[in-house]
Amino acid sequence: MRVLKIICLFFLATSAVSIVEGTLRIHSSPAASTALRDSVYGTIMSIIVAVVWASVFFGVREKTPIAWKLGWGVIVVALLAFLLTALSHTLALPDADHPLVVSAAVVVVGCAATGYWGFWWNRQKRDFLTRASSDRKPDSW
């Protein structure tokens, strides 16, 4: 769990740096420019991402069952983001380099890595669900 907390804090810190960078860019952009609009949207997205990672960190620290379920969402979104980015780059390869073979390798490697992390995350279920059930107070009839 310690590594998972560190990962959450790393992404939270990355989002915080992005918020600061976007805010500085907003103040240095001329009014009504495209850069200003992109900076505002980017900063808003960074704030949302920071709130999400702070919530995930709190959920992992407290070992809430919803955090375990959201972990599956993080794994799936990470796979989709990886595939989208990697496959978009393989489309730019010339035909002589066999882009379909490279694309297939990207999908296989991405799915293998996701399978590993899915297996690891499934093993963490016991920690989240036993913690949640042990915190429940018995009915005081």
**Same domain for 12 and 27:** yes
DSSP string, 10-42: HHHHHHHHHHHHHHHHHHHSPTT-HHHHHHHHH
What pLDDT, on the 0 to 100 scale, is given for residue 113?
96
Q: Which domain holds residue 55?
A: 1-62
**Same domain for 58 and 9:** yes
pLDDT in tens, 27-56: 666 655 555 566 778 888 888 989 988 988
State the sign of the Cα–Cα–Cα–Cα dihedral 119, 112, 2, 20.
Answer: negative
Mean residue pLDDT across the chain: 82
Helix (H, G, I), strand (E, B) or coil at 141: coil
Task: Judge whether residue 66 has pLDDT over 60.
Answer: yes
What pLDDT, on the 0 to 100 scale, is given for residue 32?
55
Checking phi first, is residue 140 left (phi over 0); if not, alpha (psi -120 to 50) or beta? beta
Q: By the 8 A CB rule, do 36 and 9 touch?
A: no
- Range from 40-49, 56-65, 74-83 that averages highest in pLDDT: 74-83
The amino acid present at 45, given as its one-letter code, is M
Q: Single out the residue in 62, 90, 109 at which a domain terminates.
A: 62
What pLDDT, on the 0 to 100 scale, is given for residue 5?
87
Best CA proximity match to 45, nearest among 66, 88, 14:
14
Q: By the 8 A CB rule, do 44 and 26 touch?
A: no
Range with the poorest average pLDDT among 1-5, 34-38, 57-61, 136-140: 136-140
**Same domain for 141 and 81:** yes
What pLDDT, on the 0 to 100 scale, is given for residue 79?
95
Q: By the 8 A CB rule, do 35 and 43 touch?
A: no
**Same domain for 117 and 73:** yes
**Same domain for 111 and 89:** yes
pLDDT in tens, 120-139: 999 988 888 876 555 555 44
What pLDDT, on the 0 to 100 scale, is given for residue 115?
97
